[in-house]
Chains A and B, each alone.
Chain A
Amino acid sequence: MMNLQKKKLYTLLALVALFVILFICNMLLSPYHMRIINLVGINIALVVSLNLTNGFCGVFSLGHAGFMAVGAYVAAILSLPLVKKAIILPELPKWLGSVELSFLPSLIIGGLVAAICALIIGYPVLRLRGHYLAVATLGFLVVIQVVITQLQDFTRGARGINGLTQYTNTWWVWIFTCITIYVVWRIINSAYGRGMMAIREDDLAAEAMGVNLTKYRLLAFCVGAFFAGIGGALWAHLITVVTPLSFSYDRTFSLVVMSVIGGMSSITGGVVGASLMTLVPELLRNLEVGITVGGISIPPLYGISQIVLSVVLIIVIIVRPKGIVGSREFSWNLFKKKKWNTMNQMEN
Chain B
Amino acid sequence: MASSILEVDKVTKYFRGLKAVSDYSLTLEKGVIAGLIGPNGAGKTTVFNLLTGVFTPTSGTIRLHQQDIAGQRLDQIVSLGMARTFQNLRLFTKLTVLDNVLVAAQINKDYGFWAAIAGLPSFKKGEKDLRERASALLEDMGLLHLADELSGNLPYGDQRKLEIARALATGPRVLLLDEPAAGMNPRESQELTETIRIIRDKYDLTILLIEHDMHVVMNLCDNIQVLSYGEIIAEGKPADIRSNQQVIEAYLGRAAANA
Complex CA–CA separation, A207 to B86 (angstroms): 13
Complex CA–CA separation, A259 to B92 (angstroms): 22
CB pair B116–A187 under 8 Å, yes or no, is yes
CB pair B95–A194 under 8 Å, yes or no, is yes
CB pair A210–B116 under 8 Å, yes or no, is no
Instruction: Point out the residue from B84, B92, B123 that lies within 8 Å of A206, measured CB to CB.
Output: B92
| Residues of A174-198 whose CB lies within 8 A of B | 183, 186-187, 190-192, 194-195, 197-198
Tell yes or no: A297 within 8 A of B by CB: no
Residue of B nearest to A214 (CB): B73
Instruction: Point out the residue from B106, B117, B124 that lies within 8 Å of A348, measured CB to CB.
Output: B124
Min CB distance B138 to A, Å, is: 15
Q: Which residues of A sit under 8 angstroms from B109, Cβ to Cβ?
A: 191
Complex CA–CA separation, A211 to B109 (angstroms): 12
Min CB distance B84 to A, Å, is: 6
CB pair A345–B96 under 8 Å, yes or no, is yes
Q: Which residues of B sit under 8 angstroms from A205, Cβ to Cβ?
A: 86, 90-92
Q: Which residues of A sit under 8 angstroms from B74, Cβ to Cβ?
A: 204, 207-208
CB pair B94–A327 under 8 Å, yes or no, is yes
List 6 interface pairs A-B (beta carbons < 8 Å), by A numbering. Answer: A187-B116, A191-B106, A204-B54, A208-B54, A209-B103, A209-B166
Complex CA–CA separation, A342 to B150 (angstroms): 10
CB pair A209–B113 under 8 Å, yes or no, is no
Contact code string B120-142 (vs A, CB < 8 Å = 1, else 0)? 00011011001000000000000
With contact pairs A197-B92, A201-B93, A219-B113 given, residues A210 and B104 touching in the complex (Cβ less than 8 Å) = yes
Shortest Cβ-Cβ A-B pairs, 7 listed: A210-B107, A205-B90, A190-B116, A201-B92, A191-B106, A209-B104, A210-B78
Complex CA–CA separation, A201 to B91 (angstroms): 8
Residue of A nearest to B113 (CB): A192
Contact size range, A: 20 to 34
Q: Which residues of A sit under 8 angstroms from B52, Cβ to Cβ?
A: 208
Instruction: Point out the residue from A191, A209, A348 that lies within 8 Å of B78, measured CB to CB.
Output: A209
Q: Which residues of B sit under 8 angstroms from A11, Cβ to Cβ?
A: none
Tell yes or no: B83 within 8 A of A by CB: yes
With contact pairs A191-B106, A194-B106, A348-B124 given, residues A186 and B93 touching in the complex (Cβ less than 8 Å) = no
Tell yes or no: B79 within 8 A of A by CB: yes
Residue of A nearest to B109 (CB): A191
CB pair B127–A198 under 8 Å, yes or no, is no
Complex CA–CA separation, A207 to B74 (angstroms): 6
With contact pairs A191-B130, A192-B116, A344-B99 given, residues A210 and B75 touching in the complex (Cβ less than 8 Å) = yes
Residue of B nearest to A191 (CB): B106
Tell yes or no: B17 within 8 A of A by CB: no
Q: Which residues of A sit under 8 angstroms from B148, Cβ to Cβ?
A: 344-345
CB pair B75–A212 under 8 Å, yes or no, is yes
| Residues of B47-92 whose CB lies within 8 A of A | 52, 54, 73-75, 78-79, 83-84, 86, 90-92
Tell yes or no: B119 within 8 A of A by CB: yes
CB pair A186–B116 under 8 Å, yes or no, is yes
Q: Which residues of B sit under 8 angstroms from A191, Cβ to Cβ?
A: 102, 106, 109, 111, 116, 126-127, 130
Complex CA–CA separation, A187 to B118 (angstroms): 10
With contact pairs A191-B116, A208-B74, A219-B113 given, residues A198 and B95 touching in the complex (Cβ less than 8 Å) = yes
